[in-house]
Amino acid sequence: MKLGVIKEPRVWLYGSENMDIADELFMGWAVGIKEATEDWCKVITHYGYSGYVKKSAILFMQTEEIRYRDNSGQMAVICRRAADVLAEPRVQGRILATLSKGAFVKILSETKNGYRKVEMADGRKGYVPCIAYRSRMDADGYLYEKDREKYLREQKMLINEEVFRESVTKQAKEYLGTQYRWGGKSAEGLDCSGLTFMSYLFCGILIYRDAALKDGYPVKKIPINQIKKGDLLYFKGHIAMYLGDGKYIHATGNEKSFGCVINSLCKEDVDFREDLRESLYAAGSIWIR
Which one from 41, 46, 203, 250 is the annotated catalytic residue? 250
pLDDT tens for each residue of 186-235: 999 999 999 999 999 999 999 999 999 999 999 999 999 999 999 999 99
Tell whether the model's pLDDT for residue 90 goes beyond 90.
Answer: yes
**Are the beta carbons of 33 and 41 closer than 8 angstroms?**
yes
In Å, how far are 23, 90, 185, 246 from 114, measured between CA atoms? Answer: 34, 9, 28, 41
Q: Which conformational region is residue 245 in: left (phi greater than 0), alpha (psi within -120 to 50 degrees), or beta? A: left
pLDDT for residue 166 = 97
Interval 78-94 mean pLDDT = 98
Is 238 annotated in the active site?
yes
Q: Which pLDDT score is estimated for 19?
A: 79
pLDDT at 1: 86
What pLDDT, on the 0 to 100 scale, is given for residue 81? 96
Q: What is the pLDDT of residue 269?
A: 96
46 is catalytic: no
Residues 6+ apart with CB under 8 A from 259: 177, 178, 179, 180, 251, 252
Whole-angstrom distance, CA of residue 25 vs CA of residue 140: 14
Closest CA to 278 of 250, 218, 236: 236
DSSP for the chain, written as a single string:
-EEEEE-SSEEEEESSTT--EEEEEETT-EEEEEEE-SSEEEEEETTS-EEEEEGGGEEEE-HHHHHHHHHSS-EEEE-SSEEEEESSSSTTSPEEEEEETT-EEEEEEEEETTEEEEE-TTS-EEEEEGGGEEE-----GGGT-S-HHHHHHTPPP-S-HHHHHHHHHHHHHTTTTPBB-TT-EETTEE-HHHHHHHHHHTTT----SSSS--TTSS-EEE-GGG--TT-EEEETTEEEEEEETTEEEEEE--TTT-EEEEEES-TTSTTB-HHHHHHEEEEEES---
User: Which of 41, 46, 192, 203 is labelled catalytic?
Assistant: 192
The rounded distance, in Å, linking the Cα atoms of 6 and 124 is 14
The pLDDT mean for the chain works out to 96
**pLDDT exceeds 80 at position 278:** yes
Residue 100 — very low, low, confident or very high, per pLDDT cuts 50/70/90? very high
* Residue 287: HSE in the Cβ half-sphere, 13 Å Cα cutoff: 15
With beta carbons less than 8 A apart as the criterion, state whether 276 and 266 touch: no
Q: Quickly state the pLDDT bin for 17 (edges 50, 70, 90).
A: low
Q: Looking at residue 195, what is its pLDDT?
A: 98
Distance from C-alpha of 281 to C-alpha of 143, rounded to nearest angstrom: 32
> Domains of the chain (ranges plus CATH)?
1-144 (2.30.30.40), 154-285 (3.90.1720.10)
How far is the C-alpha of 262 from the C-alpha of 173, rounded, in Å?
Answer: 9
Per-residue pLDDT of 107-148, as tens digits, reads 999 999 999 999 999 999 999 999 999 999 999 999 999 998
pLDDT at 159: 80
pLDDT at 158: 73
Predicted TM-score (pTM) of this structure: 0.96
- Strand arrangement of the beta sheet that strand 238-244 belongs to: 220-222, 280-285, 232-235, 238-244, 247-252, 259-264
pLDDT at 98 over 70: yes
Of 41, 203, 238, 260, the active-site residue reads 238
Residue 16 has pLDDT above 90, yes or no: no
Average pLDDT over residues 155-164: 87
The pLDDT value given to residue 18: 64
> Distance between alpha carbon 208 and the CA centroid of its chain, in Å?
10
